[in-house]
Amino acid sequence: MSTNLPKQALHMNNKQSEILEFDKNHVWHPYTSMSNPLPSYLVESADGVYITLASGEKVIDGMSSWWSVLHGYNHPELNQALIKQSEKFSHVMFGGLTHEPAVELSKSLIEITPKGLNKVFLSDSGSVAVEVALKMAIQYWHSKNKPQKHKILTVKNGYHGDTFAAMSVCDPVNGMHQLFEPVLMKNLFAPAPVTGFNQEWDASDIEILATMFAQRHHDIAAFIIEPIVQGAGGMRIYHPSYLKACRELCDQYNILMIADEIATGLGRTGKLFACEWADISPDIICLGKTLTGGYMTLAATLCTDEIANTISNGEAGCFMHGPTFMGNPLACAVANASLNILKRNEWQQQVANIEAVFKQQLLPLKNHTRVNDVRVLGAIGVVEVTENVEMAEIQKRFVELGAWIRPFGKLIYIMPPFISNTEQVTLLINAIAMVLNDDNCFKAS
């Protein structure tokens, strides 16, 4: 047995060890080297907020499986939705055919998203939802006989996905995609918002962005931004007045506004959509991650009637995109079940409870010598440390402490499932407090 396997392998049977060995040698995990891979932990099962590892440990999921598992694992209503739909049909092509789960989902999304978003394009993943949004914006202006409006304006520290158009609007330095820079679309970047969510609004925060709108509006198709919370680009939480000013600039200069709510949508920030903090509606919105409650991959891009009709009456006569698994019935069925759970409005109290625990127990970690900042909004808690984490070591330590937390760079953050109770959230926070005192979990400066 390889000595590079995690210690959990020592407690496993031969079959489980073989799985991990093959995984280490042949299965490429996200943002992981194949020549020197980070350890992977073999999952046996998951239920509620707990992930049970094959080696016997039971850990509380502090990540909601990358921000997607809203209602917990193995949820009976979501399970039943999948089973019921699979007994009818699991998939049909969406070209020329339609089905009730997709229609019901589209109806619900139109009902709950910010006003004016009446046309729904279903796709496979969040990155694709962004690709669709950018293509919509560019095709919209082409259909209005303004093909010169093809640039995308955004802000630094943003993250919108790993596909090519999405990469082109991620932070050019910190967006994980620098090596692709020579072949990406050349888009426009304004400074990231500076004023924090709870700070006094400083109107100078928007000045450079306003200048870019004024100088380049003739060739800008759209402005894209993650509302209120910049996710994988730095877990930064900015002031709602900044977002409101962005909407006003888009209106003033006749530029489409795209809200990337893939990470923030469906309650995570304490509002159903983060745009609600600024009381704005975008022209296009991107949804994903939580859409199916973390069960299956599904995304949606919604736009206004004006955008859809302009594209449809343009040169092509249709929108030029069509994924094979568009509107997958299984995914739509479980998404409908997940949205039905949300519509009970229990999420509001659940998120408020998590936020209260964060404010009481996570915010005090700001006084730790290893901590630069602590940020909290809704069911999002972020601890920014002074040194980069040592991923393999800190991951192992978290598992020993009964927590599944996966930091990146200098950010240790938790976004637990909404069903997490005070005791479970406290365990996650205590685990963070413990690792802050462990020098082995951090890279020396």
- Scan for tokens 């909407």, then name that residue: 247
Residues recorded for the chain: 445
- List the catalytic residue out of 24, 156, 271, 289: 289
Q: What's the rounded Cα separation, in Å, for the pair 81 and 296? A: 12
Residue 205 known to be catalytic: no
- CA–CA gap between residue 139 and residue 317 (Å, rounded): 11
Residue type, 155: V
Instruction: Answer whether 125's CB lies under 8 Å from 288's CB.
Output: yes
Identified catalytic residue from 260, 283, 295, 396: 260
Distance CA 173, CA 410 (A): 16
Identify the CA nearest to 355 among candidates 379, 374, 382: 379
Q: How far is CA 40 from CA 50, 97, 147, 412, 441, in A?
A: 17, 41, 47, 19, 17
| 159 a catalytic residue | yes
Please check whether residue 236 is in contact with residue 278, taking contact to mean a CB–CB distance below 8 angstroms: no
The residue annotated as part of the active site, out of 41, 140, 159, 295, is 159
Q: Looking at 31, 202, 251, 439, which residue is catalytic? A: 31
Q: Are 16 and 22 in contact (CB under 8 A)?
A: no
Distance of CA 419 to the CA centre of its chain: 19
Active site residue 295: no
User: Could you give the dihedral angle defined by the CA atoms of residues 407, 409, 412 and 416, in that order, rounded to the nearest 10 degrees?
Assistant: -40
Long-range contacts of 31-40 (CB under 8 A, 24+ apart): 31/176, 38/391, 38/392, 38/395, 39/4, 39/5, 39/6, 39/392, 39/395, 39/396, 40/6
> What residues form DSSP beta bridges with 260?
286
Which segments of 285-407 does DSSP mark as H helices, in order? 305-312, 329-343, 346-357, 391-400
CA distance 23 to 417: 27
* Catalytic status, residue 31: yes
Distance between CA atoms of 16 and 29, rounded to whole angstroms?
18
Query: 40 in the Ramachandran plot: left (φ > 0), alpha (ψ -120 to 50) or beta?
Result: beta
User: Catalytic residues, which ones?
Assistant: 31, 159, 260, 289
